[in-house]
Amino acid sequence: MSGGTYLGMPAFPKAAHEAVRDETLRGNLRHATHTIRAKRATAVAEVSDWAELREAGKQIKDHTLRHLDRYLVQLEESVTAAGGTVHWAADADEANRIVTGLVKATGESEVVKVKSMATQEIGLNEALEAEGIRAYETDLAELIVQLGEDRPSHILVPAIHRNRGEIRDIFAREMGAWGRPAPEGLTDTPAELADAARLHLREKFLRAKVGISGANFMVAETGTMVVVESEGNGRMCLTLPETLISVVGIEKTVPTWRDLEVFLQTLPRSSTAERMNPYTSTWTGTTDSGTADGPRDFHLVLIDNGRTDTLADEVGRQALRCIRCSACLNVCPVYERAGGHAYGSVYPGPIGAILSPQLRGTGSEIDASLPYASSLCGACYDVCPVAIDIPEVLVHLRERVVQGGPVTREGVRVLVKPAKGHAAERAAMRAARWAFGRPGVLRAGQRLASRTRRFHPRTLPGPGRAWSDTRSVPEVPAEPFRDWWQRTHGGKDTSK
Amino acid sequence: MSSRDLILARVRRALADVPRDDTPYDRAVRRDYLREHGNRSAGRTVDLLAENLADYRALVHRCTAGELPATIARLLAGRGAASVAVPAGLDPAWLAAADVTRMPDSAADTPAALDRVDSVVTACAVAIAETGTIVLDGGPDQGRRRITLVPDHHICVVRVPGQVVSSVPQGLERLDPARPLTWISGPSATSDIELDRVEGVHGPRTLEVVLVSAR
Amino acid sequence: MRVALFLTCVNDTLYPDTGRAVVKLLTRLGVDVDFPMAQTCCGQAHYNTGYRHEAEPLARHFSEVFGGYEAIVTPSGSCGAMVRELYPRMGARARAEGRGDGLATALAPVVPRTYELTEFLVDVLGVTDVGAYYPHTVTYHPTCHGLRGLGLGDRPRRLLESVGGLELRELPGADECCGFGGTFALKNADVSAAMGADKVRNAASTGADVLCAADNSCLMHIGGTMTRLRTGMRPVHIAEILASTQEEPV
């Protein structure tokens, strides 16, 4: 992820510090996540075989990842046979170069885009802009983000941090500079805002010659691409332009057409909490010139950009099962309070906390802090439709941060050192382990604490202040349990 | 080394722990989920389709084959539609009673020209009851994808019970991945404002589904 | 049945009342309780903070201390989940790292024999009415590791519903994390405090006198927040409620 936008982000706790105090943001996020949480639960409860679907989704993805080389080659063959062209990009820069080159070859200076996490990840819009090509985001939330010169804060609903009033203001203020202005007297009712977006984007869709998309799934067996969406902007971008460029992470591959029967049931219910999303488009290469249904040229750009490094980690690779539904964001109590921007990545929330430090490595301040951006409450794992054990990977990545060890970066096995700033903690953990290995030492410490308890301060010094600023400090009892036990049941137990 | 070879080599190195005799695909996935949810008669399955379509704000109508031309004519007149996009292979009888200008689906049409068309009438490839979904596969009676996208009003005819299946797995079995498919569940919608669903964005804002039975 | 009380280092040091309550309760139910004095810490804080290698000797120590008992009972959902869920994972990781089966073999005996208190009462002893009396209004917070890690389900509820004099009030947003999360409470103090404050507000909205949970670590965080927000509510461990009787109220 060399998108640039997120480099030099502050560590998670620092960014969250601001967000927690932003009452509007807290209110927006609480409202949105609680709305969708309840709906998702209902949508999932409707299907009696959810557990089996979840397990099958996990197994399909795991199997594909374990044989990804084979399936990628098969996918390439199928797409090529159907008239598409496959490109391979090892990193963000290469992907951007390929896409920019393809757009330039058409002679066009603007493109319409379907919401795509992969193109956000590689910073494609900025790369296109640098070459004089304007990229129009057409998903409603992406439009809000683009017009507001903002950053996305949610996988599914990138403008979740904005409420209707803020969206109205952005539309009224900015639409004119990008094309058709917002209607006079625009109010903040969601239906009117959606209508304003329809009018604004219509002319762009109708004249577009190049469309850029991602894909939710790629079927190796048939070469079929799948885009799951709601608004119809996806259909516009996939159908009307003459050239279509799809930028997709290599982990989006599934072996067979049949495998979609699992994900087309679990994805909509997990993401928008619907039985089925309004529109799903599937296409295989290009159609013949006789029908001329859809683009004449189709390019698939397969991107690695840290995915093979993630794949090399036997515990962490499960993150690549992710189908980007965002259910984990919507149930996460930390996301709800810190907001998406604090995660310093296009992938926020619990999945972002395990994906970003794997795709980018744990070298930066933000990436080293992300594995700790969780209370390990496990709600994310519960709702994940492909059963990614996010808490397990978080703890695994914490280990990498504090202890270092072998990792793969850009395909090369390297040994990373423990991150800075954990020396005192490491010493404390070692000391605690030493003491806990010796019950006598533990007991002496407990007694000392009990005897001095009258002198314990109500607020703690140093790192302890993080506790006592908002929470009272527990009082140390007159005697630890083990002393009571020895007094009352003494001699019953022979161990020390 | 090309990036293709580089990436494939990285993948192979990353998977050094995977044994050569790893479980093959057909045994790697335990597909013990249901082929369909519940056990319904064909008639009940059609009812469920109607319920779920309506739940996502599609307008659902039912009629017999004999009544179909009149039904379509009524729906078009109700919208005040003057022009209608027509797939090349649509049964001409369906529009026989409608007083509209027929715009044949022709490859030469520009999107801007299509934008001036009021409505579109198509058949479908299959309909899925459990999810309230109709699927178009670009067949002769459905036309190119753009004709059901740009006009603001789509009338889709489903032959019941023959074209209706219960579930997503059953729907996929009937479809050919080589064809461009459009799965439609209600009119276009968005949840992008406060995660609340609003119907009607870029795709047709009005979706009318006519469930037509033989008798 | 010879049962070992695995009290946990936090309870031993800070919440001896909970330990005494467990002893009283189990003894009343006819269980022969022992407290192995060599017990210290299960290693959860180390493991969850990223110090798996520091946690390993503590897990081995745990297994040595408790290996000889038929059942090991703990009044902590998170420490119970550490032994049951994470000890097997530690063993498997050591094996994957080429360090052999030693750790897995050493930890295997204690894993299936470790029970969280309410689980032990309902599943092993088969009781939901433990003869308790506690004349207060109570709201119950299911802690994350008990709820999602161990799958305690409605066991704590069923126990509380059978307590004489107790009025149980529904806690809004009950299954949301309180924000403790071990070192999370320090490393992400702002978010942790915000979660704690929301939990306390929800608890206060029930009008109950007592917020009850089956884990004192979470109660330390919730209770500490309650004091600062001056709600007047008390945090009480479920063991202390179940130990309370008409004759000997807590």
Give the domain extent around A265.
12-307
Residue at A216 is within a domain = yes
Same domain, C90 and C163: no
325-354 in chain A: CB under 8 A from chain C? 333-334, 337-338
Q: Give the chain A residue whose CA is nearest to the CA of B25.
A: A63
Q: Hey, is the C-beta of C27 within 8 angstroms of any chain A C-beta?
A: no
Provide φ and ψ at A15, rounded to 5°: -65, -40
pLDDT score of A492: 56
The beta-carbon neighbor of A472 closest among C144, C148, C227 is: C227
Q: Which of A1-15, A29-43, A145-159, B3-17 has the lowest mean pLDDT?
A: A1-15
A442 — pLDDT class (breaks 50, 70, 90): confident
Q: Hey, is the C-beta of A216 within 8 angstroms of any chain B C-beta?
A: no
Same domain, C18 and C120: yes
Q: Which two tokens stand for residue B124?
A: 């479908």
C89 min Cα distance to partner chain A (Å): 9
Q: Bridge-partner residues for A229, per DSSP?
A: A279
pLDDT score of A411: 93
Contact flag A378-C57 (C-beta cutoff 8 Å): no
Chain B adjacent subunits, 3+ CB pairs under 8 A: A
Mean pLDDT (chain B, rounded): 95
The last residue of one of the domains, among C124, C157, C175, is C124
Q: Residues of C with CB below 8 A from A377's CB?
A: 144, 148, 176-177, 181
For residue A324, give the nearest of A355, A369, A359 by alpha carbon.
A355
Give the residues of chain C that fall short of pLDDT 50: none
Q: Hey, is the C-beta of B26 within 8 angstroms of any chain A C-beta?
A: no
Interface test with A, best of C24, C27, C49 (most A CBs within 10 A): C49
Pair A311, A67: CB distance under 8 Å: no
- pTM: predicted TM-score of the whole model, two decimal places: 0.96
The beta-carbon neighbor of A66 closest among B18, B168, B201 is: B18
Q: Hey, is the C-beta of B23 within 8 angstroms of any chain A C-beta?
A: yes
Chain C adjacent subunits, 3+ CB pairs under 8 A: A
Q: How many domains, in total, are found in chain B?
A: 1
A104 — pLDDT class (breaks 50, 70, 90): very high
Residue at C129 is within a domain = no
A494 — pLDDT class (breaks 50, 70, 90): very low
A4 — pLDDT class (breaks 50, 70, 90): very low
Share of chain B above pLDDT 70, in %: 100
Residue at A342 is within a domain = no
Mean pLDDT (chain A, rounded): 93
Same domain, C11 and C108: yes
Same domain, C51 and C155: no
What are the pLDDT digits (tens) for B44-88? Answer: 999 999 999 999 999 999 999 999 999 999 999 999 999 999 999
User: In which residue are the tokens 């996918």 written?
Assistant: A75
Q: Give the chain A residue whose CA is nearest to the CA of C62.
A: A437
Task: Find the CATH number of the domain harbouring A23.
Answer: 3.40.50.10420
Chain A adjacent subunits, 3+ CB pairs under 8 A: B, C
pLDDT score of A495: 47
What are the pLDDT digits (tens) for B86-119? Answer: 999 999 999 999 999 999 998 767 899 999 999 9
The last residue of one of the domains, among A261, A292, A307, is A307
Q: Hey, is the C-beta of C141 within 8 angstroms of any chain A C-beta?
A: no
Residue at C130 is within a domain = no
pLDDT at position A283 over 50: yes
* Rounded-to-integer distance, Cα A169 and Cα A162, Å: 11
pLDDT score of A8: 65
Q: Residues of C with CB below 8 A from A375's CB?
A: 144, 177, 179-182, 184, 188, 192, 195
Q: Give the chain A residue whose CA is nearest to the CA of C97.
A: A314
The last residue of one of the domains, among C124, C146, C163, is C124
Contact flag A333-C228 (C-beta cutoff 8 Å): no
Q: Hey, is the C-beta of C16 within 8 angstroms of any chain A C-beta?
A: yes
Q: How many domains, in total, are found in chain C?
A: 2
Contact flag B149-A236 (C-beta cutoff 8 Å): yes
Q: How many domains, in total, are found in chain A?
A: 2
Contact flag B11-A308 (C-beta cutoff 8 Å): yes
Q: Residues of C with CB below 8 A from A397's CB?
A: 50
pLDDT at position A496 over 80: no
pLDDT score of A7: 58
Give the domain extent around C161.
137-243
Q: Residues of A with CB below 8 A from C184's CB?
A: 372, 374-376
A289 — pLDDT class (breaks 50, 70, 90): low
Task: Find the CATH number of the domain harbouring C34.
Answer: 3.40.50
Residue at B8 is within a domain = no
SS3 string of chain A? CCCCCCCCCCCHHHHHHHHHHCHHHHHHHHHHHHHHHHHHHHHHHCCCCHHHHHHHHHHHHHHHHHCHHHHHHHHHHHHHHCCCEEEEECCHHHHHHHHHHHHHHHCCCEEEECCCHHHHHHCHHHHHHHCCCEEEECCHHHHHHHHCCCCCCCCCCCCCCCCHHHHHHHHHHHHHHHCCCCCCCCCCCHHHHHHHHHHHHHHHHHHCCEEEECCCEEECCCCEEEEEECCCHHHHHHHCCCEEEEEEEHHHEECCHHHHHHHHHHHHHHHCCCCCCCEEEEEECCCCCCCCCCCCEEEEEEECCCHHHHHCCCCHHHHHHCCCCCHHHHHCHHHHHHCHHHHCCCCCHHHHHHHHHHHCCCCCHHHHHHHHCCCCCCHHHHHCCCCCCHHHHHHHHHHHHHHCEEEEECCEEEEECCCCCCHHHHHHHHHHHHHHCCHHHHHHHHHHHHHCHHHCCCCCCHHHHHHHCCCCCCCCCCCCHHHHHHHHHCCCCCCC
The beta-carbon neighbor of C13 closest among A315, A375, A446 is: A446
Contact flag C188-A16 (C-beta cutoff 8 Å): yes
Q: Residues of C with CB below 8 A from A374's CB?
A: 181, 184
Q: Residues of B with CB below 8 A from A52's CB?
A: 30, 32-34
Contact flag C39-A439 (C-beta cutoff 8 Å): yes
Pair B36, B164: CB distance under 8 Å: no
Q: Hey, is the C-beta of A67 within 8 angstroms of any chain B C-beta?
A: yes
Average pLDDT over residues A464-477: 89
pLDDT at position A197 over 90: yes
Cis peptide before B161 (omega within 30 of 0): yes
A269 min Cα distance to partner chain B (Å): 10
* Rounded-to-integer distance, Cα B128 and Cα A234, Å: 22
Q: Hey, is the C-beta of B21 within 8 angstroms of any chain A C-beta?
A: no
Same domain, C91 and C59: yes
Same domain, C162 and C89: no
The beta-carbon neighbor of A311 closest among B15, B133, B178 is: B15
Residue at B18 is within a domain = no
Residue at B30 is within a domain = no
Task: Find the CATH number of the domain harbouring B143.
Answer: 3.40.50.10420
Q: Give the chain A residue whose CA is nearest to the CA of C227.
A: A472
For residue C217, give the nearest of C77, C24, C115, C84 by alpha carbon.
C77
What are the pLDDT digits (tens) for C145-157? Answer: 999 999 999 999 9
What are the pLDDT digits (tens) for A38-55? Answer: 999 999 999 999 999 999
Interface test with B, best of A246, A282, A296 (most B CBs within 10 A): A282
103-122 in chain C: CB under 8 A from chain A? none
The beta-carbon neighbor of B169 closest among A261, A283, A411 is: A261
Around A90, how many Cα atoms within 13 Å sit in the side-chain half-sphere? 14
Residue at C57 is within a domain = yes
A256-259 CB contacts, 8 Å cutoff, 24+ apart: A256/A219, A256/A220, A256/A221, A256/A222, A256/B25, A257/A219, A257/A221, A257/A222, A257/A224, A257/B172, A257/B177, A258/B169, A258/B172, A259/A60, A259/A217, A259/A219, A259/B29
Average pLDDT over residues B32-53: 96
Residue at C132 is within a domain = no
Contact flag A375-C184 (C-beta cutoff 8 Å): yes
Q: Which two tokens stand for residue A32?
A: 């949105």
SS3 string of A283-328? EECCCCCCCCCCCCEEEEEEECCCHHHHHCCCCHHHHHHCCCCCHH
Same domain, C148 and C114: no
Contact flag A291-B4 (C-beta cutoff 8 Å): no
Pair A224, B177: CB distance under 8 Å: yes
pLDDT at position A491 over 70: no
Residue A359's identity, in one-letter code, is L
Q: Which two tokens stand for residue C36?
A: 């192995």
pLDDT score of A447: 85
Distances (CA, A) of A33 to A330, A445, C169: 5, 45, 25
Residue at B10 is within a domain = no
The last residue of one of the domains, among C71, C95, C124, is C124
Q: Hey, is the C-beta of C92 within 8 angstroms of any chain A C-beta?
A: no
Q: Hey, is the C-beta of C167 within 8 angstroms of any chain A C-beta?
A: no
Q: Which two tokens stand for residue A152?
A: 């996305």
pLDDT score of B194: 83
Q: Find the helix or strand (DSSP H, E) in which B79 lies.
A: helix B68-79
pLDDT at position A460 over 60: yes
A436 — pLDDT class (breaks 50, 70, 90): confident
pLDDT score of B191: 85
pLDDT at position A2 over 80: no
Give the domain extent around B66.
40-213
First to last CA, chain C: 26
Q: Regarding beta strands A412-416 and A405-409, do their DSSP bridges make them parallel or antiparallel, or are they unpaired?
A: antiparallel
B192 — pLDDT class (breaks 50, 70, 90): confident
Average pLDDT over residues A160-171: 94
| CB neighbour list of residue C163: distance below 8 Å, 6 or more residues apart | C130, C132, C133, C134, C241, C242, C244
B66 min Cα distance to partner chain A (Å): 30
C177 min Cα distance to partner chain A (Å): 6
pLDDT at position A1 over 70: no
Q: Hey, is the C-beta of C31 within 8 angstroms of any chain A C-beta?
A: no
Higher-pLDDT residue of A463 and C93 is: C93
Residue at B115 is within a domain = yes
pLDDT at position A6 over 70: no
A21 min Cα distance to partner chain B (Å): 20
Residue at B33 is within a domain = no
Q: Give the chain A residue whose CA is nearest to the CA of C49.
A: A398
Same domain, C120 and C32: yes
Same domain, A302 and A178: yes
74-133 in chain B: CB under 8 A from chain A? 107, 110-112, 115, 128, 130-133
Residue at B111 is within a domain = yes
Q: What ipTM was reported for this prediction?
A: 0.97
Q: Give the chain B residue whose CA is nearest to the CA of A314.
A: B17
Same domain, C40 and C92: yes
Residue at B94 is within a domain = yes
B215 min Cα distance to partner chain A (Å): 30
For residue B37, give the nearest of A50, A267, A268 by alpha carbon.
A50
